[in-house]
Chains A and B, each alone.
Chain A
Amino acid sequence: MKGKSLVSINDYTKDEYIKILDLAEVFEKKSVQNILQGKVIASLFFEPSTRTRLSFESAVNKLGGKIIGFSDTSSSSVTKGETLYDTIKTVSNYCDLIVMRHPLEGSARFASEITNVPIINAGDGANQHPTQTLLDLYSIRKTQSTLDNLNIFMVGDLKYGRTVHSLLMAMSKFNTTYNFIAPEELKMPEEYKLFLENHGLKYYEHRDFTDIISKADIIYMTRVQKERFTDPIEYERTKNAYVLKNEFLVNTKENLRVLHPLPRVSEIEQEVDMNPKAYYFTQALNGVFIRQAIITSILGLI
């Protein structure tokens, strides 16, 4: 992984996933160290973000590294019309690694082609967000003690949600069974279902939350966004159908954990936060360890 950019979750093999997860476990035990002393990490956020940017910066700071960069484009030359090409070429002179988020899809791949400084993609539009997927894998392994043979329920916006698509691809290496709960308009796209069929993996589709979730090991919730609907009446009709409430979790498995990439709007009732099966805030904390593992691996410090 040394010197190699992480642009897409498909850039890593199953063995590499495991290596990163194992390393994140080590950082979870000791997340304050001096490994990154003397290293400069550029954090280029062409688009705002809370969790991702702060967890990257927290990860670097705890390991003694320095952060340079911007958290939105208003304080950079992008507002003067600078191309991404020029920004990346310039910033490459000042740092050992670039973490970037950009609204255009494929921007991180493009950046990785024009510089020798490794790039970590912290989200390129609706395309990829590989560090989120790795932290999801970490959270799943931590709560289930394994990644193999699990039954994962994905709920909400399965059409546009990049996190569910990347997670689906990553989990396909672990003989996962998938259940998709989504409104008609936001169903899992055909290409992903075809991918699962080609890999001999089972998936089931449902329109509603039912007793079926009693089989789940993981429920992965996502936001159902109003702007995704062509028909506003359809939105009003469906928005409440995909809200997770405590009562739904009564007859579920003991090991079940509820994950959500956050931010949450109203798709999980606040009452669920106190339920021992709710895991989404700890999931966000795991992001720090996983990012420490990724950064130190790419810089060849571990």
Chain B
Amino acid sequence: MMKDKILEVSAIKDGTVIDHIPANSLFKVISILGLDKICNKITFGTNLESKKLGQKAIIKLSDVFFFDKDINKIALVAPQAKLNIIKNYQVTEKKVVEVPDEISGIVKCMNPQCITNAEKLTTKFQVVSKKYVKLKCYYCEKITDQEHFVII
């Protein structure tokens, strides 16, 4: 099992592999991490079979490494995502993402009456539940849950 996984990611020399992304969150992950704006080599696969997720997606990024605070942002849409850090074709480190305590930007507040949807300002949330992600808006104090996430 372990061997298969390494084989699958061995295509890149150095970089990061993000695995176990729910297939329907792939493009959200790309958008949150700004992968559509970088020039590095990127391979991704989607609608792959997964026992855990049904259908999953995977992203392989050459010469890209993330800080925890940046990669943790994807926990909102891919809470079970796993990272393999590749150096010289070897997996040197494995990481899981963790939902942060606070979120700035990324998601819109779902309350249409919220000031963040009217004026130019960055949304800010306190994470009040991590398993089923629920965000409390710092401004209007209303809850936006993961089912209603609209990525900015």
Contacts and interface: CB of A to CB of B under 8 A. Distances in A.
Interface of A: 8, 83-85, 102-107, 109-110, 124-128, 191
A128 B140 CA distance: 8
B141 A106 contact: yes
A265 B120 CA distance: 38
Interface of B: 111, 113-116, 118-121, 137-143
B92 to A, nearest CB: 42
Contacts of A102: 115
A247 to B, nearest CB: 39
B114 A85 contact: no
A79 B141 CA distance: 27
A105 B114 contact: yes
Contacts of A8: 141
Given A84-B119, A110-B119, A104 B113 contact: yes
Contacts of A105: 111, 113-115, 139-142
13 contacts: A85-B120, A102-B115, A104-B114, A104-B118, A104-B140, A105-B114, A106-B116, A106-B140, A109-B138, A110-B115, A124-B115, A124-B140, A191-B143
B128 to A, nearest CB: 9
Contacts of B121: 110
A181 B115 CA distance: 32
Query: Most chain-B CB neighbours within 10 Å: which of A83, A102, A103, A124?
Result: A124
A106 B120 contact: no
Nearest to A85: B119
Nearest to A102: B115
Contacts of A110: 115-116, 119, 121, 139
Given A83-B119, A84-B119, A85-B119, A106 B143 contact: no
Nearest to A128: B141
A191 B142 CA distance: 11
Contacts of A127: 140-142
B139 to A, nearest CB: 3
Contacts of B119: 83-85, 110
Nearest to A189: B143
Instruction: Enumerate the 9 nearest inter-chain pairs by beta-carbon distance, A residue then B residue, closest first.
Output: A106-B139, A105-B140, A106-B140, A106-B115, A107-B115, A104-B115, A110-B115, A109-B139, A105-B113
B138 A103 contact: no
A102 B114 CA distance: 11
Nearest to A191: B143
A215 B135 CA distance: 38
A85 B114 CA distance: 15
A117 to B, nearest CB: 18
A109 B121 CA distance: 12
Contact of A125 (B120, B137, B140): B140
A232 to B, nearest CB: 24
A265 B118 CA distance: 32
Contacts of B141: 8, 105-106, 127-128
A205 to B, nearest CB: 21
Nearest to B128: A191
Given A106-B115, A106-B137, A126-B113, 13 more contacts: A83-B120, A102-B115, A104-B113, A104-B114, A105-B113, A105-B114, A106-B116, A106-B140, A109-B115, A124-B115, A124-B140, A127-B140, A127-B141
Query: Most chain-B CB neighbours within 10 Å: which of A103, A104, A105, A127?
Result: A105
A301 to B, nearest CB: 29
